[in-house]
Amino acid sequence: MYQNINKIYRAAIYVRLSKEDGDVSSSAKLESNSISNQKALILDFLKDKKDIEVVSVRVDDGYSGSNFERPAFQAMLEDIRHGIVDCVVVKDLSRFGREYIDSGKYIERLFPALGVRFIAINDNYDSLKGKNQSDEIIIPFKNLINDAYCRDISIKIRSNLEIKRKKGECVTPFVAFGYRKKKEDKHKLEIDPSAGSVVQDIFKMKLQGMSQDAIANRLNELGVLSPFEHKISNGSHYETGFRQKEQALWSSVTVRRILENEVYIGN
């Protein structure tokens, strides 16, 4: 009993912000949900809590709340499993997650089973105080609302992207080899002079009857940068799992993708 009364909880402050789930859909929301604002609000809440000691601050900046495969969240779970953390503090339930089933799994099952205290400040929820009848209704309901909100935002984003695509605007972060985004309008493409000539040569070689393998070998013999190396040379942070050597070379697969890509005929 004495240990329970004097227990000091080792807390992880968890904050999250993403553009995808509508967290920053307005300037007011951006300020309210900003990483710095969340930290400040939580630290202010904890400053007079003698039974809570902050041992870590976990930040997922740019990660959607629609799933829990976030690096900082997973690192926090590891701390919980190793006994480093036994308390999680968030600004509100939506910062914790916007997926109804998994949010409920963590808050109502996993955390209690591991002896983890969970606090959502703006929702006035502290698992240490015990669940009353209203919590049993309100907490799952709020998780359900957050889930529905995330799904609604996702649909709106997809619809907006579809409208842009139908207007012929580029909506992808990386463009097809041979093109580049216009500086004055990132949704419009223009031909990349150096890479564009390579694409033209590939189609010419194919029309001359060369196979994809032969084209790839020819490009490697000439020392032509592959699409991956071309992106890197232009300062891109593009990553791929297909790179097997120190320098990515042309392959028949790369050539085939270019030959079959309808963007080169204007689609």
Give residue 208's pLDDT.
94
| Among candidate residues 115, 113, 135, the one with its CA nearest the CA of residue 123 | 135
Give residue 162's pLDDT.
66
Mean pLDDT by 10 residues, the chain (267 residues): 68 86 50 79 93 95 86 95 95 82 84 92 85 52 53 58 65 76 77 88 94 93 89 60 61 91 82
Would you list the domain boundaries of the chain?
2-154, 179-265
Residues belonging to the chain:
267
Give residue 241's pLDDT.
43
User: Which residues lie across from 50 on neighbouring strands?
Assistant: none
Where does residue 209 fall: left (phi above 0), alpha (psi -120 to 50 degrees), or beta otherwise?
A: left
| 234 touches 153 (CB < 8 A) | no
At the fourth CATH level, which superfamily is domain 2-154? Resolvase, N-terminal catalytic domain (3.40.50.1390)
User: Exposed/middle/buried for 92, CB within 10 Å: 0-12, 13-18, 19+?
Assistant: middle
**CA Rg, the chain, in Å?**
26
Give residue 244's pLDDT.
45
| 62 touches 17 (CB < 8 A) | yes
Rounded distance between C-alpha atoms, residue 96 and residue 109, angstroms: 15
Cα 253–Cα 227–Cα 161 angle in degrees, nearest 5: 95
- DSSP E strand stretches across the chain: 9-17, 52-61, 87-90, 117-120, 125-126, 179-181, 189-191
Rounded distance between C-alpha atoms, residue 174 and residue 206, angstroms: 25
pTM: 0.51
Strands ordered across the beta sheet of 117-120: 52-61, 9-17, 87-90, 117-120, 125-126
Give residue 64's pLDDT.
83
Give residue 141's pLDDT.
47
Cα 205–Cα 206–Cα 209 angle in degrees, nearest 5: 95
Q: How many CB atoms lie within 10 A of CB 231?
A: 20
Give residue 111's pLDDT.
92
